């Protein structure tokens, strides 16, 4: 059973430290920069070792020509609203009422939370998108599955507008008036690529079932910039394979 990451809003698994980590990169001009960044996550505490030694680490660069496309996609039943935005210190996390589910390969997962990355973590044919939305699911037994939606620059996104209008202050949360359906964060077509990977944040637990949707949604450059500014910079792990 994989340990859940900080971004999944749960207590650390036994042996997993709450050692602070960041997305800071190493810099030739500052020897201290990036000391707790992605290149060193696996060294920060024994509980994060899988970030360095794991064999199925995420995110990945998806080769659309060689990887099989799942044209049907998962079965999604998102009928309960998302209600709260929360600053975790690493991302904007959106939480809601229970009851939203995703069924993939015969296993039903319950939606735990949604969060954002800028730029995208996954790449398709070597190209990363402007943003990426992760819809994180779990089973009572502790299995994890993440639905990833890429976001490209384009028209204003009404769902993102609602989220961006309720950005919380640091360490706090905000209520989404009347709630927001997770369906509004999805593309119309649900085809995508499925693979076995890991959490993209410490403790980088394996295995995690990933489903990366082929069709992106759009957001305006102003919306992308607004989230980037609130986030305080990029929050995407480098490609692992």
Going along the chain from its start, the domains and CATH numbers come out as: 20-52 (no CATH), 54-231 (3.10.200.10)
Q: How far is CA 58 from CA 45, 183, 195, in A?
A: 19, 24, 10
Residue 40 has what pLDDT?
95
pTM of the model: 0.91
Query: What tokens does 197 get?
Result: 């990977």
Q: State percent of the chain over pLDDT 70.
A: 90
Residue 199 has pLDDT above 90, yes or no: yes
pLDDT score of 93: 98
Task: Please give the Cα distance from 105 to 91 (Å, whole number).
Answer: 29
Residues belonging to the chain: 241
What pLDDT shows up at residue 6? Answer: 45
Can you say whether the dihedral through the CA atoms of 53, 29, 91, 218 is positive or negative? Answer: negative
Q: 95 has which bridge partners?
A: 84
List pLDDT tens digits, range 6-57.
Answer: 444 333 444 444 579 999 987 545 556 688 999 999 999 999 999 999 999 9
- Our answer to whether residue 90 is catalytic in this structure is yes
Strands 131-138 and 107-117: antiparallel
| Predicted local distance difference test score (pLDDT) of residue 14 | 40
Q: Which is catalytic among the residues 90, 117, 122, 134?
A: 90
Q: What share of the chain is helix, strand, coil (3-state, %, to 5)?
A: 15, 35, 50
Residue 93 CB contacts under 8 Å (≥ 6 apart), including other chains? 7, 9, 85, 86, 87, 113, 114, 115
Q: What is the pLDDT of residues 182-198, one digit of tens each?
A: 999 999 999 999 999 99
**Mean pLDDT, to the nearest integer, of 113-138?**
98
Of 14 and 238, more confident = 238
User: Regarding predicted confidence, which is higher, 34 or 87?
Assistant: 87
**Mean pLDDT over each residue of the chain, to the nearest integer:** 92
């Amino acid at each position: 059973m994989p340990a859940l990451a900080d971004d999944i809003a749960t207590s650390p698994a036994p042996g997993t430290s709450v050692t602070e980590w960041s997305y800071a990169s190493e810099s030739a001009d500052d020897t201290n920069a990036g000391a707790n960044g992605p290149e060193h996550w696996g060294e920060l505490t024994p509980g994060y070792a899988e970030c360095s030694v794991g064999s199925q680490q995420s995110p990945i660069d998806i080769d659309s020509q060689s990887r099989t496309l799942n044209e049907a996609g998962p079965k999604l039943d998102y009928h309960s609203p998302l209600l709260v935005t929360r600053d975790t210190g690493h991302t904007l996390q959106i939480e809601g009422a229970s009851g939203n589910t995703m069924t993939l390969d015969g296993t039903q997962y319950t939606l735990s939370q949604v969060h954002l990355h800028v730029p995208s973590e996954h790449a398709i044919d070597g190209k990363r998108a402007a943003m990426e939305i992760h819809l994180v699911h779990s089973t009572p037994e502790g299995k994890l599955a993440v639905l990833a939606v890429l976001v490209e620059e384009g028209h204003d996104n009404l769902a993102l507008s609602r989220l961006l209008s309720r950005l919380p202050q640091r360490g706090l949360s905000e209520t989404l008036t009347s709630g927001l359906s997770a369906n509004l964060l999805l593309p119309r077509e649900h085809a995508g690529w499925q693979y076995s990977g890991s959490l993209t944040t410490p403790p980088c637990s394996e295995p995690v079932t990933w489903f990366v949707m082929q069709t992106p949604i759009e957001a305006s450059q102003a919306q992308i910039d607004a989230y980037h500014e609130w986030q305080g910079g990029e929050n995407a792990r480098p490609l692992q394979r």
